[in-house]
Amino acid sequence: MNAGTLFGLCAAVVIGVGVFGLIVNPHPLRKILAFNVVGSGVFLLFGAIAYRGAGAGLGGDPVPQALLITGIVVAFSATALAVALLLRLFDETGSVTLSSDAPARTGNDTDAH
Amino acid sequence: MLTTPGGWLLVVAVLAPFVGVLAGLALGGRGAQHVAALMLPIGLAVASGIAWTLTQTGDTVVYLLGGWSPPLGIALRADGLSAAMLLAVAVVVCGVGVFARADFDTPAGTPEKRAPLAFWLLLLAVWGSLNLVFVSGDLFTLYVALELLTFSGVPLVCLDGRGETLRAALRYLLFALAGSLLYLLGAVLLYGGYGTLDIALLAERVHAEPVAWTAAALMTVGLLAKTALFPLHIWLPPAHAGAPAAASAVLSALVIKGSWFLVVRLWFDVMPGVVTLPAAQLLAGLGAAAIVAGSVVALRQERLKLLVAYSTIAQIGYLFLMFPLAFDASGHTLVHGAALTGGLLQAIAHATAKAGMFMAAGLMYAALGHDRIAELGGVARALPVTVLAFAISGVALMGVMPSGAYLAKKLLLESADSSGQWWWTMVLQGGAAFTAGYVVLVLANALRRPAVPVTLAKRVSRLSEYAALALALCSLLLAFAALGPVPGDLVSNPLAPKELGPTLLVVLVGALLALGLSRRPLLGGAGHDGPMRRATVAAGTGFEHTDAFLRRWPSASLALLALAALFGGLMLARSP
């Protein structure tokens, strides 16, 4: 097994762990963290692809590296937005649960509290 | 490949709204509104310019960033699909911009507030991201565009900052992020397999093998989560129903179209030879389920905005019916043809009509101070233009003669006929009756004579009412825009018996559905339901429970994974 395959398999494991967390953890903060774990897995996979594609005597395929930086910036902004929403939700309602009672069932304009 | 004449218009289409966002942010509340007002005509002119260039040259408009051609550089491309969507989005954004002047105005002498500033900036940001989705020719640029679209759509949900809407926004964001990771993973796999992300180059290199169908399945399902196709609609009802009217119109009419458009790009332009007919049947099957479940649950709602939100879920289903109909005669590859044109028309018809419908619902809410459907009585007399706008949007969505949905239905029915897929004929015909159901339900209540005369909580702006009406009329008259002022044999007199008969039948079945399923009985008082109605109400309640179950986080995310596996399996089934 060469290093590229090893990194690829690691990426698969990291993505799997993240997806598991995304599904089973009811707490939004943990979901945000799980999202970042999945994201890291995808980035690791991309890194492995860049490494594997390093033919022609180059130190690595440079295109995935450029895309990775962009991807990390996007994931960072997503995390920042999610955390900001979460903090605001806590300020407004005093809880951070995601499971709203289905609004279809409430007949009148009730606020969250 | 080189930059074509007029290619710079694509750059302006993407950059202008974002320049507007930055300028608005620097200038602050009142300034942002002026910048947005300035950008609306500019954006509309640019979109028209792109469409005009395309019709003049008859070829794809291309711009190579920095003069570098793919795979090293990045290309912006606009074909017929992109140009049509660019123009439709520009029209809807202008309509929303006019509508929102009343709600998000900051008159001289009043302090500037945060919500109007955020609204105008986000409106421009949604517009710019959508334009980028339509013109980018590269899967990674598309990923960035999709994320920009999500980041500008999510805060629109919680503009008023109530806890309930914040929760809806967070749910939307988290589920959309799960979807975009699946998309990104697919894009990464494609790069690993073929060494490029450019759409045109990928289309030449890709062929049916494990890496291609794995990527196709992951990307498709990720995008479906962002489009909120049933059963992945976990986030849509609270988000769309809780947002202010202008924001709901943007979210429902435009934001979901971005990811839908990307599914179309992916299936038709990137991997027409990788996706399979069974996978397309599954996609359309989910669409059919969305039509039935979305419409039934819509009929069970007590609140108008939730009804419109659930009707969006049903209408999203329509957008996916075209996929199995667009395969060529051998059933091996997807082709650009009548079915795709039908699907595109359906998307544009829905964008305009649904924006008009959400605006009308928002105006009724603002005027009455509530949006309980059973207590809408008398609103038709108080707000005739608004109720007319709602009715026309509904009629346009039903697919009555000159509307875009009519033409779309006709094209799809012909494709279904010629490919022998009779089951989609049934779905297409039956879907209109469901749409008629919730339109009849709302109108019957709005036209009812109230027990006490209605007192309006607030006067609504005339301009907003006419903006809603104008968008509804756009959708109703779309067939003329698509075919020219003298349409050919695709369009006939709407009052001829051949057309009137089916229309009346659709309305009649819709009325029966509304009678059977509405939460409060439409006729007579409560308490003495017949056995028929008791049975239909029980069925409706069953649908509501199923919907509530599917919208729980664990079931939705498991459905996401299961669908990815299912799509992968169906594409694997392709014999080489």
State the DSSP string of B453-483.
----SSPPPHHHHHHHHHHHHHHHTHHHHHH
Whether B340 and B437 have beta carbons less than 8 Å apart is answered as no
| A101 pLDDT more than 70 | no
For residues B391 and B471, membership in a common domain is answered with yes
CB contact under 8 A, B177 and A35: yes
Please, are residues B235 and B172 in contact by the beta-carbon 8 Å criterion? yes
Q: For B61, list phi and psi in degrees, rounded to 5.
A: -85, 130
DSSP state of A56: T
Cβ–Cβ < 8 Å for B187, B197? yes
Boundary-marking domain end, from B78, B103, B137: B137
Residues of chain B found within 8 Å of residue A109, distances taken between Cβ atoms: 370
- Decide if pLDDT at A105 tops 70: no
| Interface contact B169-A85, CB threshold 8 A | yes
Q: How far apart are CA B548 and CA B16, in angstroms?
A: 42
CA angle B181, B234, B303 (to 5 degrees): 145
In order of B98, B347, B475, the CA distances from B33 in angstroms are 11, 29, 27
Q: Which residue, of B137, B163, B182, is where some domain finishes?
A: B137
Each residue's pLDDT tens digit, B46-88: 999 999 988 888 888 888 888 888 878 888 988 888 999 999 9
Chain A CB contacts of B182 below 8 Å:
none
Q: Do A15 and B185 touch (CB under 8 A)?
A: yes
Contact B82, B10 (CB under 8 A): no
The alpha-carbon radius of gyration of chain B (Å, integer) is 23
Tell me what pLDDT residue A113 has. 39
B residues 208-237 lying closer than 8 A (beta carbon) to A: 237
User: Would you place residue A109 in the very low, low, confident or very high pLDDT band (cuts 50, 70, 90)?
Assistant: very low
**What angle, rounded to 10 degrees, do the helices at B422-446 and B404-419 form?**
160
Peptide bond connecting B494 to the previous residue in cis, omega within 30 degrees of 0: no
Run means of pLDDT, 10 residues per run, chain B, 576 residues: 82 93 88 90 92 87 86 86 92 92 81 86 94 92 93 91 88 92 93 88 87 92 92 89 89 92 92 86 92 90 89 91 84 81 89 91 88 83 89 87 81 84 85 87 84 77 88 83 59 67 82 80 64 81 87 88 90 67
- For residue A24, give how far its alpha carbon lies from the nearest alpha carbon of chain B (Å): 7
Q: Which residues pair with B75 in a beta bridge?
A: B64
Q: How many domains does one find in chain B?
A: 2
| DSSP secondary structure of B15-74 | HHHHHHHHHHHHH-HHHHHHHHHHHHHHHHHHHHHHHHHHHHH-S-EEEEGGGPPTTTS-
Torsion of CA A17, A19, A23, A27, to 10 degrees: 70
Can you tell me whether residue B75 is helix, strand or coil?
Answer: strand
DSSP state of B265: I
For chain A, domains (ranges, CATH) are 3-93 (1.10.287.3510)
Judgement on whether residues B421 and B365 belong to the same structural domain of the protein: yes
φ and ψ at residue B296, rounded to 5 degrees: -65, -45
Residue by residue, DSSP assigns B121-138 as HHHHHHHHHHHHHHHB-B
The whole domain housing B107 covers 1-137
**Residues B25, B60: one domain?**
yes
Q: Which two tokens stand for residue B529?
A: 């339901």
- B557 vs A15, A22, A45: nearest CB: A22
**CA of B216, closest CA in chain A: separation in Å?**
16
| ipTM of the prediction | 0.87
Looking at B137, B172, B206, which one is the last position of a domain? B137
Q: What's the CA gap between B546 and B339, in Å, rounded?
A: 32
pLDDT at B526: 54
Query: Which of B448, B565, B441, B570 shows the shortest CA–CA distance to B513?
Result: B441
pLDDT value for B352: 92
Cross-chain residue pair A92–B162, CB shorter than 8 Å = yes
A106 pLDDT higher than 60 = no
Q: Which residues of chain A neighbour B143 with C-beta distances below 8 Å?
A: 71, 74
Interface test with B, best of A31, A70, A97 (most B CBs within 10 A): A31
Indicate yes or no: CB of A103 within 8 angstroms of CB of B306: yes
- Looking at chain A, which residue has its C-alpha nearest residue B143? A71
For B368, what's the count of Cα atoms within 13 Å in the CB-facing half-sphere?
28
- What DSSP string runs through B492-511? --TTSHHHHHHHHHHHHHHH
The distance of Cα B399 from the centroid of its chain, to the nearest Å, equals: 16
Query: Torsions phi, psi of B321, nearest 5?
Result: -70, -20
On chain A, the residues whose CB falls within 8 A of the CB of B154 are: 81, 85
Q: Model pTM?
A: 0.91
pLDDT of residue A111: 40
pLDDT class for A4, splitting at 50, 70, 90? confident
Q: Which of B166, B177, B302 sits opposite A78 (nearest CB)?
A: B177
Residue B356 and residue B444 in one domain: yes
How far are the Cα atoms of B93, B382, B443, B446 from residue B457, in angstroms, in the given order?
28, 11, 21, 17
Q: What's the token pair of residue B425? A: 């004929």
For the stretch A14-49, pLDDT in tens is 999 999 998 888 888 999 999 999 999 999 999 888
Nearest to B151 among A52, A77, A93 (CB): A77
CA nearest to A77 within chain B: B151
* Whether residues B172 and B267 fall in one domain: yes
Whether B394 and B433 share a structural domain: yes
pLDDT of residue A108: 41
Looking at the structure, do residues B115 and B254 belong to the same domain, yes or no?
A: no
In this structure, is the dihedral angle defined by the CA atoms of residues B51, B57, B58 and B62, taken in order, positive or negative?
negative
Beta partners for residue B136, in sequence order: B76
B189 chain-A contacts, CB cut-off 8 A: 45
Picking from B147, B166, B238, the nearest residue to A88 by CB comes out as B166
Degrees to nearest 5, angle at CA B450 with A109 and B537: 60
B151–A78: do the CB atoms touch at under 8 Å? yes
Burial class (CB in 10 A: 0-12, 13-18, 19+), B505: middle
Count other C-beta atoms under 10 Å from residue B118's C-beta: 19
B82 and B190 share a domain? no
* B242: its two tokens: 């809780």
Tell which of A23, A44, A73 to mutate to test the B interface (max B CBs under 10 Å).
Answer: A23
B420 and B525 co-located in one domain: yes
Q: How many CB pairs under 8 A join A and B?
A: 130
In 3D, which of B439, B416, B417, B412 has the Cα closest to residue B506? B439
My answer on whether B35 and B92 are in the same domain is yes
Phi, psi values for residue B142, rounded to 5°? -65, -35
Mark which residues 328-387 of B lie under 8 Å from A by CB: 370, 372
Nearest to B290 by CA among B369, B380, B243, B228: B228
Contact A111 B302 (CB under 8 A): no
Contact B469, B413 (CB under 8 A): no
Q: What is the DSSP letter of B334?
A: B
User: What pLDDT score does B1 carry?
Assistant: 66
B184, closest residue in chain A (CA to CA) = A42
The CA distance from B322 to B72, in Å, is 34
Round to the nearest angstrom and report the end-to-end CA distance of chain B.
Answer: 32
User: Least CB-CB distance to B191: which of A22, A64, A99?
Assistant: A64
Spacing of C-alpha A5 from chain mean position = 23
The distance from CA B174 to its chain's CA centroid, rounded to whole angstroms, is: 20
Tokens at residue B232, please?
């992945």
Same domain, yes or no: B509 and B559 = yes
Distance of alpha carbon B305 from alpha carbon B290, whole angstroms: 18
Tell me: do B426 and B354 sit in the same domain: yes
Determine, for residues A32 and B171 on separate chains, whether the beta-carbon distance falls below 8 Å: no
